[in-house]
Amino acid sequence: MKYMLFCLLGWGLWLSPSEAQASSLPAADATGSLVSLGSGPSLSFELPLPFNTRLGGSAATPWYYFSRFGISNYDLHLQFPLLKQDGFLITVVAGAFGQINLRSTPDSAPLSPVGLEMGACFSYLFSEQLRLRLNLVPGFNFFLPFEEPANDKNETGVGWTFLTPASGFEVAWRFNPHFEASLGFNGNGDILSLSGIF
């Protein structure tokens, strides 16, 4: 299995262009295909499509759920370019996301297997090697059970979240034309990530 993974990675690097960028987040500055491993733990991908659009997705089992370790996040999204000027880039991202309890662990909070996410991705290129990214991608959970009112107030779960898997921020350092490391936080729980660029 490891041998096959290394062969696939080597083959992709051999075919990859040197000007591509990568990220564990949907990145406004990305231009090539990528696979990213995050500390969440998570696995994400992005592929270029015609008309400068991109298809991406991720899956994760974040540790930050504490007792909910074993709850898996996923998302699948499309990106559309909006602005590219003097190292500042903006794209629009839209897609679906959700949470699934794969191990049937006790769950104190409601989960939604399906939701919609839409927002914007911002990137600023300090240099070819150093980049700053911020993704503001809120989402709405479908099938989220409404909670009982707390403390005699009319507080109910409405399904909105501001930490979808596509949301977050990071500082990225491309130390090699084919690899990029990033430090930040996203909805998959990634603090550190390593991306392979194809």
Distance, CA of 78 to CA of 72 (rounded, Å): 21
Phi/psi of residue 5, each to 5°? -65, -45
Torsion of CA 136, 93, 19, 44, to 10 degrees: 90
Tens-level pLDDT at each residue, the chain (198 residues): 444 434 333 433 333 332 334 456 777 777 789 999 999 899 999 999 999 899 999 999 887 655 455 678 899 999 999 999 999 999 999 999 998 877 666 655 667 888 999 999 999 999 989 999 999 999 998 876 555 545 444 444 457 888 899 999 999 999 998 999 999 999 888 999 999 998
Q: How far apart are the first and last CA of the chain?
A: 20
What CA–CA distances, in Å, run from 24 to 17, 28, 135, 144? 19, 12, 11, 27
Prediction pTM value? 0.77
pLDDT in tens, 23-79: 567 777 777 899 999 998 999 999 999 998 999 999 998 876 554 556 788 999 999
Provide the b/e sequence for 127-136 (b: ≥16 CB within 10 Å): eeeebebbbe
Distance, CA of 178 to CA of 38 (rounded, Å): 16
Query: What count of residues does the chain have?
Result: 198
Give the three-class secondary structure for 181: strand
Give strand pairing partners of 43. 37, 59
